């Protein structure tokens, strides 16, 4: 009886040929294959090789200008030659724009792009954003193939994906898998994290390559793997296409991402907090603090409010809110759907210049990388403030110029610095020759930056 049932089932589903002829029947049909999609997409994925020079890390004592002068040490820090190998994706064939990871082209003095057809092209850096690990380079726009951006917000766990890149320098390689998770944050890989996790094999050299859906659309830029030994174990991460596209728009327009401020401190909405607030929501960002005179403060956002959506996009966590704000342009409107005492409200604010926020030095000048600037009260009077070096990484570029934590910037090129706006305007307007006048304790210090 079982055999008869099996034969009846096969008769319904298989072609009307003998079972022994199954391979021939299958060969006569069109088998499912990724090959047609890959024929369209792989020409857009390129190999990137770089050469450059990086400063070697050394003792903070050896980086101190006074110490170096006292012992008559060479002024120029020791350097080492760097080489990197990665991947990139052509996203605009008309203008020749290629997106990749910032860490692929970091410290590069020469960038060579190799297309699938064997052409080797010199590339120039358009701009990069270390916070998201996205960079945009430009190649001659001749006979290029570009990938179309997918809407990464519409893809779900379980969707099939394909990773294309150049692992280990072997040449273009394709691997497949599924989306294992979305919205991965808190990994400490980048400043702004909203990763797509995939089990498609991503190995060294895949960085900057494409993660595509089965339509051949760019779903993400491969950026990292999670493996104790450095090899692939089925946990890879890609920067979502929507984040890549927003960063690219900023970088192409300004050469960098100009982040603004909303003026809030938030934390994740936990089940315990949801119960304490007596609300049904299980995801969101709880407002802990609102800065006075900030965009959020001006529209009436209050501590205890729960932000559940921004510009119609759900806010699942504090990291979600931070990512959304960090990718909005200065002056751009943001609509926040909030819960206040369990009742829904909508507030609309406008992202402001981060004049009262901390400012990474790398956003101002390459020689200020490693420093973080912010406002500090003067002489105990909180109404009068000055720009201070709030944080400083030892052996960084900023340290090597002579900056020290606690320095107060009073003048740039003999023009007074009263606030962060002044610092940005004066430094960005005179990148090639800067003289900083600072107060250090009871002394005054001049530093020249070239």
- Hey, which residues are catalytic here? 103, 133, 207
Where do we find the tokens 């304490």? 276
Tell me how many degrees the CA angle 369-256-352 measures, rounded to the nearest 5: 95
* Cα–Cα distance, 370 to 57 (Å, whole number): 13
CB 434 within 8 A of CB 446: no
Note the helical H segments in 87-172: 102-105
Count Cβ atoms within 10 A of the Cβ of residue 35 and give its class: 0-12 exposed, 13-18 middle, 19 or more buried. Answer: exposed
Query: For the CA atoms of 144, 172, 188, 294, what is the dihedral angle to 10 degrees?
Result: 10
Contact 123, 98 (CB under 8 A): yes
Q: What region, left, alpha or beta, does residue 200 occupy, with left being phi > 0 and alpha being psi -120 to 50 degrees?
A: beta
Distance CA 414, CA 127 (A): 30
Distance (Å) of CA 239 to CA 48, 108, 168, 404: 18, 22, 21, 35
**H or E stretch including 450?**
none
Q: Where are the beta strands (DSSP E) in 226-330?
A: 236-240, 264-268, 285-290, 306-310, 313-314
Q: How many CA atoms lie within 13 A of 6 on its CB side?
A: 4
CA atoms within 13 A on the CB side of 26: 7
All residues at 6 or more sequence positions from 340 whose CB lies less than 8 Å from its CB, including other chains: 302, 304, 305, 306
SS3 167: helix
Structure tokens at 214: 């089965």
The secondary structure of 43-59 as a DSSP string is GGEEEEEEEEEEEPP--
- H/E run at residue 40: helix 35-41
**Helix residue ranges per DSSP H, 118-257:** 241-254
- Are 135 and 127 spatial neighbours (Cβ–Cβ below 8 Å)? yes
Spatial distance between the Cα atoms of 401 and 63, rounded to a whole number of angstroms: 9
Structural tokens at position 372: 């973080």
């Amino acid at each position: 009886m079982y055999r008869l049932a099996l034969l009846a089932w096969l008769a319904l589903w298989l072609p009307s040929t003998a079972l022994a002829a199954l391979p021939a029947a299958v060969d006569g049909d069109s088998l499912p294959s990724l090959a047609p999609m890959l024929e369209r997409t792989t020409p857009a994925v390129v190999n990137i090789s770089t050469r450059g020079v990086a400063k070697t890390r050394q003792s903070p004592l050896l980086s101190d200008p006074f110490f170096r002068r006292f012992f008559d040490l060479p002024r120029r820090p020791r350097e080492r030659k760097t080489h990197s190998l990665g991947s990139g994706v052509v996203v605009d064939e008309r203008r020749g724009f290629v997106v990749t990871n910032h860490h692929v082209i970091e410290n590069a003095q020469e960038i060579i792009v190799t297309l699938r057809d064997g052409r080797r092209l010199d590339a120039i850096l358009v701009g990069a954003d270390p916070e998201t690990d996205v960079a945009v380079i430009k190649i001659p726009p001749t006979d290029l193939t570009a990938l179309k951006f997918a809407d990464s917000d519409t893809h779900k766990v379980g969707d099939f994906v394909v990773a294309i890149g150049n692992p280990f320098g072997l040449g273009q390689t394709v691997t497949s898998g599924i989306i294992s998770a979305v919205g991965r944050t808190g990994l400490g890989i980048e400043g702004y994290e909203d990763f797509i996790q995939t089990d498609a094999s991503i190995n060294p050299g895949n960085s900057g390559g494409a993660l595509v859906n089965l339509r051949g659309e760019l779903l993400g830029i491969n950026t990292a793997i999670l493996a104790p030994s450095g090899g692939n174990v089925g946990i890879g991460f890609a920067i979502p296409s929507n984040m890549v596209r927003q960063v690219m728009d900023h970088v192409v327009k300004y050469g960098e991402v100009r982040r603004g401020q909303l003026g809030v401190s938030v934390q994740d909405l936990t089940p315990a907090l949801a119960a304490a607030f007596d609300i049904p929501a299980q995801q969101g960002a709880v407002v802990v603090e609102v800065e006075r005179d900030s965009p959020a403060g001006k529209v009436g956002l209050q501590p205890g409010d729960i932000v559940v959506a921004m510009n119609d996009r759900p806010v699942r966590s504090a990291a979600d809110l931070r990512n959304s704000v960090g990718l909005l342009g200065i002056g751009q409107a943001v609509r926040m759907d909030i819960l206040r005492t369990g009742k829904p409200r909508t507030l609309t604010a406008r992202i402001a210049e981060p004049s009262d926020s901390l400012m990474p030095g790398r956003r101002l000048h390459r020689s200020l990388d490693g420093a973080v600037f912010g406002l500090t009260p003067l002489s105990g009077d909180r109404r009068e403030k000055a720009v201070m070096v709030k944080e400083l990484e030892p052996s960084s570029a900023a340290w090597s110029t002579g900056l020290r934590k606690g320095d107060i910037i009073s003048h740039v090129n003999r023009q007074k610095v009263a606030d962060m706006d002044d610092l940005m305007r004066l430094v960005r307007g005179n990148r090639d020759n800067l003289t900083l006048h600072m107060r250090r304790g009871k002394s005054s210090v001049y530093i020249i930056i070239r």
